[in-house]
Amino acid sequence: MLIRQTKNPGKTFSEDNGMYKIVRDEPVGVCAGIVSWNATFLYVGWKIAPALAAGCSFIFKSSEKSPLGVLGLAPLYIEAGFQDGVVQFVTGERKTGALLASHMDISKISFTGSVGAGKAVQQAALK
């Protein structure tokens, strides 16, 4: 399901204190994003593009307050040449977000919303 097959072997950056950092470009697997209602289409770009650039697939859950807008985007990804399943859109209430956050096959999750909901996503991801 990855959209590219190459991997960056790593770049090193030296620090003034004699230490160094290694930055490697490796896919982590399936990523997910849960977003609030107020800027859904901006979140699509902000969350999905970095995951795809890293070679990951992405599941995007829109807010239950604005569920229908993103569903029209799914066919556009297919039309653009992405394989089935690389980008997926789901809708639902809090329970859907909790299922995404706690799913063991999701390697990384991104959340935009209230502090309370963010803490709930964090707790679900720990399980």
Three-class DSSP category at 112: coil
Architecture of 26-126 per CATH?
3-Layer(aba) Sandwich (3.40)
pTM score, whole prediction = 0.80
Regions of the chain where pLDDT drops below 70: 1-10
Per-residue pLDDT, 71: 87
Residue with tokens 């859950």: 61
* Distance separating the N- and C-terminal Cα atoms of the chain: 26
Per-residue pLDDT, 15: 82
Residue with tokens 């030296």: 14
Per-residue pLDDT, 102: 94
Per-residue pLDDT, 34: 96
Residue 97 tokens read as 């977000």
d(CA 48, CA 50): 6
**Structural domain boundaries of the chain?**
26-126
Per-residue pLDDT, 99: 94
Per-residue pLDDT, 70: 87
